[in-house]
Amino acid sequence: MSITDDEARTLLRESALRATAPRLAVLRVLAEAPNPLSHTEVLECLGKTDWDPATIYRNLIKLRDAGVALVASHAHGMDRYELAHGDGHHPHFVCEGCGRVACLPAGLTASMSMEGPWATSIQNAMVQLRGECPDCLAKA
Amino acid sequence: MSITDDEARTLLRESALRATAPRLAVLRVLAEAPNPLSHTEVLECLGKTDWDPATIYRNLIKLRDAGVALVASHAHGMDRYELAHGDGHHPHFVCEGCGRVACLPAGLTASMSMEGPWATSIQNAMVQLRGECPDCLAKA
DNA sequence: ACGTTGATGCAACTCAATTGCATTTATTTG
DNA sequence: CAAATAAATGCAATTGAGTTGCATCAACGT
């Protein structure tokens, strides 16, 4: 997946966010990433820039707060962001070994009978399938 | 839920873990807690003791590694532990507001059509239903 | 172009998680 | 039952993600 500069600017305008250079770059990195990325990983994807890490960090927060991105996983103590595509929620695979997070196809169906005080609180669901990724399995 | 001293010692012996005072205490706290607890929360439940926080921390790790406990949630950057009861996996509710994690009844069924390299990697599933807990809803 | 308001750079700080090492202690063994 | 041994603990220090204050700068609505 990728995103054009115009698409990115439109997306930001719709969310009342200013189209700054680092913000557009973060948006592009997230759009092109096959998996959710942590702050550190976003920095790596950006390569050498003269943008402050805190700026990238704040942009991830902003995008998340605006609903443009979301935190797909907190695994291994790291927030990993992905764009909030309209394609609904999909499950993720989380490697217990290296912590990598991969998107899985949305072929999961779930039904739940929920009662009590929590029922009205539930806003969304997060499904993580966990285990050792192919790489980590190979090492062992 | 609670646990007797004998049950705790047996459980530890089966896992080849020594029955030390802090370890038994951690086990008891986890057994009595209605929700998954973070390291900090375990310390709070223990009250004033002369055990080092690092000791409690390492005990949580040990119990997890031994399969006696598991990390039910990484929400809000904190690992929250619960005993790995035989009652299979149950979903959790995670409050986006305060980060509290609550156990939900295991009334969730899911089916998944999975192919490709990940299929063989999947060892277990984690389901989190997210939103604002009754307390946080009340504040807003 | 101009002003308002949001964004950035820099630096510092918080807090959970983690580790090294010397000492103590629960279990194993003779 | 005491010595041996491997694990657990206490203490102190470190890592690293996440977060924030503040002065400066720039996007964009008028």
pLDDT at B109: 60
d(CA A126, CA A106): 12
Residue B71 pLDDT > 70: yes
Closest residue (CA) to C1' of nucleotide D27 is A18
Are B77 and B97 members of one domain?
no
Instruction: At A46, give phi and psi (nearest 5°).
Output: -70, -25
A76 touches strand D (CB under 7 A): no
Strand C neighbours among B 81-140, CB < 7 A: none
Are A99 and A69 members of one domain?
no
- Chain A CA closest to residue B125: A129
Cβ contacts of B90 within 8 Å, gap of 6 or more: B103, B104, B105, B106, B108
Are A11 and A69 members of one domain?
yes
pLDDT band at B45 (very low <50, low <70, confident <90, very high): very high
Kindly give the pairing relationship between strand A122-131 and strand A92-95: parallel
Residue B14 pLDDT > 80: yes
Residue B110 pLDDT > 70: no
d(CA B82, CA B31): 8
Are A21 and A75 members of one domain?
yes
Are A9 and A78 members of one domain?
yes
Residue A65 pLDDT > 80: yes
pLDDT band at B64 (very low <50, low <70, confident <90, very high): very high
How many structural domains compose chain B?
2
- Checking each nucleotide's C1' against the CA of B77, the nearest proves to be C16
Are A13 and A73 members of one domain?
yes
Please give the residue range of the domain that contains residue B75.
5-83
Instruction: At B38, give phi and psi (nearest 5°).
Output: -85, 170
With pLDDT > 70 as the criterion, what percentage of chain A qualifies?
A: 89
Q: Which strand C nucleotides have any atom less than 7 A from protein CB atoms?
A: 6-12, 15-20, 25-27
d(CA A13, CA B2): 55
With pLDDT > 70 as the criterion, what percentage of chain B qualifies?
A: 89
- Checking each nucleotide's C1' against the CA of B49, the nearest proves to be D10
d(CA B40, CA B69): 16
d(CA A59, CA B84): 38
Among residues B2, B24, B27, the alpha carbon closest in space to that of B82 is found at B27
With pLDDT > 90 as the criterion, what percentage of chain A qualifies?
A: 55
Residue B136 pLDDT > 90: no
Cβ proximity of B68 and B84 under 8 Å = yes
d(CA B138, CA B89): 30
DSSP 3-state helix, strand, coil percentages of chain A (rounded to 5)?
Answer: 35, 25, 40
Residue with the bigger pLDDT between B126 and A9: it is: A9
Last residue of a domain, one of B35, B66, B83: B83
Are A72 and A20 members of one domain?
yes
pLDDT at B49: 94
pLDDT at A57: 98
d(CA A47, CA A43): 6
Task: Tell me the CA–C1' distance in angstroms for A55 and C25.
Answer: 51
Of B77, B125, B129, the CB nearest to A122: B129
d(CA B53, CA B59): 10
pLDDT at A91: 85
Burial class of residue A122 (count of CB atoms within 10 Å of its CB; 0-12, 13-18, 19+): middle
pLDDT band at A1 (very low <50, low <70, confident <90, very high): confident
Task: Tell me the CA–C1' distance in angstroms for A131 and C17.
Answer: 21
Residue with the bigger pLDDT between B135 and A113: it is: B135
**Encoding tokens for residue A129?**
């399938």
Residue with the bigger pLDDT between B110 and B126: it is: B126
pLDDT band at B15 (very low <50, low <70, confident <90, very high): very high
pLDDT (average), residues A67-72: 94
Last residue of a domain, one of B61, B83, B105: B83
Residue with the bigger pLDDT between A96 and B101: it is: B101
d(CA A131, CA A134): 10
- Checking each nucleotide's C1' against the CA of A23, the nearest proves to be C7
pLDDT at B104: 84
Are B47 and B29 members of one domain?
yes
Decide if A112 and B117 are in contact by the 8 Å CB cutoff.
no
Of B73, B102, B125, the CB nearest to A118: B102
**CATH number of the domain where residue B56 is located:** 1.10.10.10
A58 touches strand D (CB under 7 A): yes
Are A72 and A135 members of one domain?
no
pLDDT (average), residues B6-34: 96
Task: Tell me the CA–C1' distance in angstroms for B84 and C10.
Answer: 46
Are A70 and A21 members of one domain?
yes
Closest residue (CA) to C1' of nucleotide C6 is A18
A101-138 per-position pLDDT tens digit: 998 876 555 566 566 677 788 888 888 888 888 888 87
Residue with the bigger pLDDT between A136 and B52: it is: B52
Strand D neighbours among B 92-111, CB < 7 A: none
Cβ proximity of A130 and A121 under 8 Å = no
Are B100 and B69 members of one domain?
no
Last residue of a domain, one of B58, B83, B108: B83
- CA triple B112-B116-B121, angle to 5 deg: 75
pLDDT (average), residues B69-87: 89
Are A77 and A130 members of one domain?
no
